A and B are shown apart, each in its own frame.
Chain A
Amino acid sequence: SQQGEEDPQALSIQEGENATMNCSYKTSINNLQWYRQNSGRGLVHLILIRSNEREKHSGRLRVTLDTSKKSSSLLITASRAADTASYFCATPPQETSGSRLTFGEGTQLTVNP
């Protein structure tokens, strides 16, 4: 079964609005990552948050991590049509690093101009 599960599965907003996506996971983690995938393309790494961090920013992206609830959220502020993509969370197993990632099912974000 998937380690990470994103919520909602699909999100449609207007340009300029904020978009929030959530990810829940099951086991303890060292870090949690968010990736973006434009339709028919490969994934692009957006941001990594470590288990001892609670919040991280990168440009218009804000990621939070709550290890007690085993959940993370990705906030995209002032969204643009170009933000339309699928967003995935991913986690490595805690006992190792430099190995495999487990990806969630993704949230499909549509930003309408």
Chain B
Amino acid sequence: DGGITQSPKYLFRKEGQNVTLSCEQNLNHDAMYWYRQDPGQGLRLIYYSQIVNDFQKGDIAEGYSVSREKKESFPLTVTSAQKNPTAFYLCASMRGSTDTQYFGPGTRLTVL
């Protein structure tokens, strides 16, 4: 099966802890993206990467970090510096310059 997987589906974090959300794709796409979605809201871009070993900040990068060591993987770390991390996190990928993005099923992060 080709697609994007995100894990875990649900994640609970205590205040002050860093957590890492996994995103893997086997579509051979160059570009990958992380979005945050709050209830009833649209998507806001956190970070994106157009090529291995390179990534750019999106609109709300503060308190988050990413790495892109492999083409198929783009993990997102939510650090303790992110003051309001409870949200639904979506990962996406895109092939070349098609502009069409393919999304994973999402990870719901809750801070206890």
Q: How distant is the Cα of A100 from the Cα of B59 in the complex, in angstroms?
A: 11
Q: How large is the interface on B (under 10, 10 to 19, 20 to 34, 35 or more residues)?
A: 20 to 34
Q: How distant is the Cα of A45 from the Cα of B103 in the complex, in angstroms?
A: 9
1/0 per residue, CB under 8 A from B, across A60-82: the answer is: 00000000000000000000000
Contacts of A40 in B (CB 8 A): 88, 106, 108
Please determine whether B42 and A97 come into contact, CB atoms closer than 8 angstroms: no
Residues of A contacting B: mostly? loop
1/0 per residue, CB under 8 A from A, across B66-93: the answer is: 0000000000000000000000101010
Count of chain A residues near B, Cβ 8 A = 25
Q: Tell whether B100 is near chain A: CB-to-CB under 8 Å.
A: yes
Please determine whether A41 and B106 come into contact, CB atoms closer than 8 angstroms: yes
- List residues of B whose CB falls within 8 A of some A CB: 4, 30-31, 33, 35, 40-43, 45, 48, 50, 58, 88, 90, 92, 94, 96-106, 108
